[in-house]
Amino acid sequence: MRATLSVAIATLLTAATIGAPADAAQRETRIPDKAIATAAQLRETALASDLGYRITESLTTEVGPRLAGSEADARAVAWAVAKLKELGFDKVWTEPVTFPKWERRSESAQVVGRNMQPLHLTALGGSPAGTVEAEVVRFADLAALEAAAPGSLAGKIAFIDYKMERARDGSGYGPGSRVRSRGPSAAIRAGASAYLMRSAGTDSHRNPHTGITRFDEGLTPIPSAALAVPDAEQLRRLLERGPVKVRLALDCGWDGTYTSQNVVGEIRGSKKPEEVVLIGGHLDSWDLGTGAIDDGAGVGLTMAAAKLIGDLKQHPARTIRVVAFSNEEQGLHGGKAYAAKYADQVVRHQIAAESDFGAGRIYAYSSSAPEHAKAADAQIAKVLEPLGIAYTPGQGGPGPDVGPSAQNGVAWARLAQDGTDYFDLHHTPDDTFDKIDPQALAQNVAAYAVFAYLAASADGDFGSQPASPPTGTK
Amino acid sequence: MRATLSVAIATLLTAATIGAPADAAQRETRIPDKAIATAAQLRETALASDLGYRITESLTTEVGPRLAGSEADARAVAWAVAKLKELGFDKVWTEPVTFPKWERRSESAQVVGRNMQPLHLTALGGSPAGTVEAEVVRFADLAALEAAAPGSLAGKIAFIDYKMERARDGSGYGPGSRVRSRGPSAAIRAGASAYLMRSAGTDSHRNPHTGITRFDEGLTPIPSAALAVPDAEQLRRLLERGPVKVRLALDCGWDGTYTSQNVVGEIRGSKKPEEVVLIGGHLDSWDLGTGAIDDGAGVGLTMAAAKLIGDLKQHPARTIRVVAFSNEEQGLHGGKAYAAKYADQVVRHQIAAESDFGAGRIYAYSSSAPEHAKAADAQIAKVLEPLGIAYTPGQGGPGPDVGPSAQNGVAWARLAQDGTDYFDLHHTPDDTFDKIDPQALAQNVAAYAVFAYLAASADGDFGSQPASPPTGTK
């Protein structure tokens, strides 16, 4: 998961949808009883299946880390195509996604002088290369650095020592990720030579959290990195004793463009195959871990959910489309490319849901369903309820890669995962397969299977309609 | 903590002591009531003090990692001398300890071929440098590798995938550390080009566990390293799919000798200052973390315990001697040097106890007290009881650095720490100050203060007597 921008967008979208003119009563969406019964069986089948776990294991083991644009990006695409075919999807194809390529080559840092010792850090995605040895100036939070006078940090390293808070819904990541996205530009404005932050994470391990940053227009980028939490605390303790000089050496940077692929697989609908329920995750990961919770699990569990639907004697009316999005981490490139490509097919998208918040149990369901689809939405929630999932209409927003489609008017659903521990691992070397609980993952597969099957079986729509003005159409 | 060899030694010593001829009744050791009352007050003072925590913070923050023989070794010695003086110890000095010097310069590994990806590992202490690219052969445990036919691993990398078990008393480390100490020699005998092991640890983080290894006489050492637990599991999963080739590059090795120092500080006894109760920890650490639980805490808590005794209006009869031992990690060099230096002063050592098992709460007390000192031993246990410490006579052994002195006949005590989580951190980058619980550390200080004060106040001894034959005397 990249950022929480999508939540903000979603709030707007939800409001807009709720306020839409209601010709709802005339065409209320309902889900047939027979489909409800099938979904309940499907739920139990999925709970007893380890398919999602095995697919996630395959991706994270065989491909491993898959930084967008890296050698492993192409292997991940090939893996996804082969896996969808092996699973018997009716149609499998790829769609190009082009983006700037960023590389990490090496990185190190140490306190120099009388307290000489190494510090564990990692370059932020988008950081330029550079070696800087300078005194560190600590700021308690982003606001404090943004308040620093222009030029006041000349020849210094700016350090934001902000501690991200733990929360089930990941709400601590809003302020946490802003330190990453806005801190470097604030440091440059104050004249700093380099930027350090305490990782946007909730753990206490020597594993720094990377993630994309950006530099405001007109600023000259500076080397920017995140310290592991224990290292940020060590630096704070040292700074309490007096001036501290740090040497950091980052070798990384942008290098041309790369064309990867969104990988798409479909379980063909029995009656309205041209209409799709979209589920998916993102195929890329950061390079430090093997991208298990972010987002191998999202890819694995949605592939498994669709496959289990495909195994039913009778496919649902609409097509189940699984998308493994390209390069989510560095700017939703796959999600934006998808939205642009299908901008004129908004109404053909019944509803869309991306899983990109780990592999914890799903505890809440909500969607953008307008008034005329609320009864059907509640029907879905009812079949999800035995999984321990509460119905929370009006809450949350679409996953990051379906955000651009949602902006175009595609209806979205949210299957909210328990993210209490998500930011212990997120964007670190520790995001590895062993962190996934197979039972929790099966519960996710069951929830996605139920949701997708029922949405695809509904008589009526979930409110997808072209936004005004549409984006990306000719 | 280096190894559990000391436990085995201790078992022998305990048996020997228990079986010693008992002229006990003639000179039963007892602790005066007044001392018991003072110790109870001291216990509460220590529980309310953060001194041990602050000393540990100082060492781990200001010196950081302090690999024996490194630049930081000298800084650690200077720190210890300065800290003991600052705390007002009556006498502070150093004693030279010479040992071979091992250096870690760089290390990396990756799976090569179609599943190309990095693996997190760390060289074992004592490993030679070398770059090896070869197929990996997995063994479930040490016995399986030791059973491999000579030459059967020619041109291969041997990999022991043994999972160490978690236990409060650290008993899983026996078999775990044997994989480290004996695995490389077994690999060489089978003809392997390099040696890999799953870290001897109980965590699931990308932080490999280092530790000393050795090579049997007559064998040519090979590059030997430990994989982080998630990486060992990843390698196992890959091996389940077919042959796996790994490239590992270690730059490390022995380089001459180095002379460091045991650092000694004393709180002078009021009546028998020439007799000492020895408490301490080891000053060196592995280089990956900052040596907080291993063994900054041991140094910090014993310095604090002695200082709090020194703050009493009346010092106990005997001297409290704190020793910060040099280079425990690579072979008990400091403990052996101490034992050799004081081999003719065994009876002047009332009793000795080293803290080198982390910073968890102490849950049990025992000692080598012979029959004539058992009543006094029970008196100590009684004052420890309100700290949640059980009296477990006959169990355990001396800490590693007092092991050599115990072999010479010095009585020892064991204040057993809860090590349930110890091997999550032990010898990894994650052994940092933030892992220490201040309340648990204060409980340790209280226990050591009570123990040392009472042993130093006893009328009579705890059974120290020169072993036959003595070691290291002229």
Is A230 an 8 Å CB contact of chain B?
A: yes
Inspect the interface and report whether the beta carbons of A434 and B57 lie closer than 8 Å: no
Count how many domains chain B has: 2
What's the rounded Cα separation, in Å, for the pair A428 and A209? 5
The CATH number covering residue A166 comes to 3.50.30.30
What is the torsion angle, in degrees rounded to the nearest 10, for the CA atoms of residue B75, residue B77, residue B80 and residue B84?
A: -130
Token digits of residue B7 = 């436990």
One domain for residues A119 and A39: no
Interchain proximity B230–A434, CB inside 8 Å: yes
- Domain edge (last residue) among A225, A255, A285: A255
Among A194, A227, A255, the domain boundary falls at: A255
What is the rounded CA–CA span in Å between residue B299 and residue B325?
Answer: 9
The answer to whether B118 contacts A289, with C-beta atoms less than 8 Å apart, is no
pLDDT at A411: 98
pLDDT of residue A470: 52
In sequence order, which residues have a C-beta less than 8 Å from that of residue B288 and are 6 or more positions away? B65, B122, B207, B208, B210, B427, B428, B429, B431
Break chain B down into helix, strand, coil percent, rounded to 5: 40, 25, 35
Burial B123-135 (b: 16+ CB within 10 A, else e): bbbbbbbbebebe
Interatomic CA distance for residues B237 and A56, integer angstroms:
13
Contact residues on chain A for B62, CB-CB shorter than 8 A: 115, 238, 241
Beta carbons of A63 and B115 less than 8 Å apart: yes
Mean pLDDT, rounded, of chain B: 94
In angstroms, rounded to a whole number, what is the distance separating the alpha carbons of residues B62 and B51?
16
The burial of A36, by beta-carbon neighbours within 10 Å (0-12 exposed, 13-18 middle, 19 or more buried), is given as middle
Q: What ipTM goes with this model?
A: 0.94
CA distance A92 to A97: 16
Which candidate in B115, B198, B205 is best for mutational testing of the A interface (most A CBs within 10 A)? B205
For residues A283 and A329, give the distance between their C-alpha atoms in angstroms, rounded to a whole number: 10
Contacts of residue A387, Cβ cutoff 8 Å, sequence gap at least 6: A43, A47, A362, A443, A446, A447, A450
**CB-defined contacts A:B, below 8 A:** 97
Q: Taken in order A65, A69, A75, A80, is the CA torsion positive or negative?
A: positive
DSSP bridge pairs for A221: none
Residues B63, A230: C-beta atoms closer than 8 Å: no
A86, A88, A91, A95 alpha-carbon torsion, rounded to 10°: -30
Contact indicator for B263, B324 with CB cutoff of 8 Å: yes
Q: Which of B61, B231, B285 to mutate to test the interface with A (most CBs of A within 10 A)?
A: B61
DSSP 8-class letter at B409 = T
Inside any domain, residue A43? yes
Asked if residue B405 and residue B288 are part of one domain, the reply reads yes
Distance, CA of A237 to CA of B60 (rounded, Å): 10
Residues B223 and B118 in one domain: yes
* Chain A residue with the nearest C-alpha to that of B435: A204
> CB-CB: which of B114, B205, B433 is closest to A430?
B205
3-state secondary structure of B467: coil
SS3 at position A28:
coil
Question: In A116-158, where does DSSP find H-type helix?
Answer: 142-146
- Indicate the Cα dihedral angle B269, B271, B273, B278, nearest 10°: -50
Which of B120, B290, B428 lies nearest to residue A429, judging by beta carbons?
B120
> Do residues B163 and B235 both lie within one domain?
yes
Distance from C-alpha of B277 to C-alpha of B303, rounded to nearest angstrom: 13
CA–CA dist A173, A209 (Å, integer): 12
Residue B30 DSSP label: B
* Position B465 in a domain: no
pTM as predicted: 0.94
Q: What is the CA radius of gyration of chain B?
A: 23
- The C-alpha atoms of residue A455 and residue A352 are separated, in whole angstroms, by 10
B290 vs A: CB within 8 A: yes
A442-456 pLDDT per residue, tens: 999 999 999 999 999
- Contact assessment for residue B437 and residue B359, using Cβ atoms and an 8 Å cutoff: yes
Question: What are the φ and ψ backbone dihedral angles of A68, each rounded to 5 degrees?
Answer: -55, 130
Name the residue among B61, B206, B207 with its Cβ closest to that of A238: B61
Are A347 and A372 in the same domain?
yes
Q: Is A206 on the interface with B (CB under 8 A)?
A: yes
B430: chain A residues, CB-CB within 8 Å: 205-206, 230
Q: How many CA atoms lie within 13 A of B168 on its CB side?
A: 8
Sheet holding B362-367, edge to edge: B390-391, B362-367, B413-417
Which residue type sits at B302?
T
Query: Is the CB of residue B417 less than 8 Å from the CB of residue B459?
Result: no
**Which residue among A117, A241, A435 sits closest to B65, beta carbon to beta carbon?**
A117
Q: Does the beta-carbon distance from B430 to A206 stay under 8 Å?
A: yes
Inspect the interface and report whether the beta carbons of B430 and A72 lie closer than 8 Å. Answer: no
Assign B105 to helix, strand or coil.
Answer: strand
Same domain for B84 and B127, yes or no, is: no
A120 CB within 8 Å of a chain B CB: yes
Q: Are residues A137 and A70 in the same domain?
A: no
Please tell me which of the candidates A75, A115, A230 has its beta carbon nearest to residue B62: A115
CB atoms within 10 A of CB A15: 11
Q: What is the pLDDT along chain A (474 residues), one digit of tens a residue?
A: 654 444 444 444 443 444 444 454 558 999 999 999 999 999 999 999 999 999 999 999 999 999 999 999 999 999 999 999 999 999 999 999 999 999 999 999 999 999 999 999 999 999 999 999 999 999 999 999 999 999 999 999 999 999 999 999 999 999 999 999 999 999 999 999 999 999 999 999 999 999 999 999 999 999 999 999 999 999 999 999 999 999 999 999 999 999 999 999 999 999 999 999 999 999 999 999 999 999 999 999 999 999 999 999 999 999 999 999 999 999 999 999 999 999 999 999 999 999 999 999 999 999 999 999 999 999 999 999 999 999 999 899 999 999 999 999 999 999 999 999 999 999 999 999 999 999 999 999 999 999 999 999 999 999 999 997 655 543
Tokens (6 digits) for B194: 């390099």
The A residues from 238 to 257 touching B (CB cutoff 8 Å) are 238, 241
Same domain, B106 and B250: yes
A64, A117, A206: residue with CB nearest B117: A64
Q: Is B120 on the interface with A (CB under 8 A)?
A: yes
User: Which of B122, B434, B436, B437 to mutate: most A Cβ within 10 Å?
Assistant: B434
For residue B234, the distance in angstroms to the closest alpha carbon of chain A comes to: 6
Residue A31 falls inside a structural domain: yes
Q: Which domain holds residue B235?
A: 101-255
A-chain CB neighbours of B63 within 8 Å are 115, 117
Asked, for residue A466, whether it belongs to a domain, the answer is no
Considering the domain architecture, whether residues A236 and A326 belong to the same structural domain is answered as no
CB < 8 Å to B233, chain A? 432-434
DSSP A470: -
Q: Is residue A462 part of a domain?
A: no
Token code pair at residue B206:
């990308």
**Partner residue facing A207 (CB), from B71, B205, B229:** B205
d(CA A30, CA A21) in angstroms, rounded, equals: 19
How far apart CA A183 and CA B307 sit, in angstroms, is 45
Partner residues linked to B246 by β-bridges: B111, B134
Nearest C-alpha of chain A: how many angstroms from B170?
22
The answer to whether the CB of A448 falls within 8 A of the CB of A267 is: no
Instruction: Indicate whether B473 belongs to any domain.
Output: no
CA distances from A194 to A41, A126, B66, B170 (A): 57, 14, 28, 44
Residues B363, B416, single domain; the answer is: yes
Question: Does A289 contact B at CB distance below 8 Å?
Answer: yes
Q: What is the pLDDT of residues B4-61, one digit of tens each?
A: 444 444 444 443 444 444 454 558 999 999 999 999 999 999 999 999 999 999 999 9
Of A118, A205, A238, the CB nearest to B205: A205
> What pLDDT, on the 0 to 100 scale, is given for residue A2?
53
Task: Kindly state whether A49 is in contact with chain B, defined as any CB-CB distance less than 8 angstroms.
Answer: no
Same domain, B281 and B405: yes
CB distance B320 to B454 below 8 Å? no
The answer to the question of residue A96 being in a domain is no
- Look at residues A255, A283, A304 and tell me which one is the last residue of a structural domain: A255
Please indicate whether, in this complex, the C-beta atoms of A205 and B204 are within 8 angstroms of each other.
no
Question: For the domain that residue A327 is a member of, what is the CATH number?
Answer: 3.40.630.10
Task: Give the C-alpha separation, A127 to A225, whole Å.
Answer: 8
Task: Tell me which chain A residues have a C-beta less than 8 angstroms from the C-beta of B289.
Answer: 206
Across the interface, whether the CB atoms of A115 and B237 are under 8 A apart is answered no
A85 and A148 part of one domain: no
* Interchain proximity B116–A72, CB inside 8 Å: yes
Residue with tokens 């209601």: A22
- A61, A117, A204 ranked by CB distance to B234: nearest: A61
Residue that has been written with the tokens 């871990």 in this structure? A289
Residue B372 lies in a domain: yes
Dihedrals phi, psi of A43, to nearest 5 degrees: -60, -45
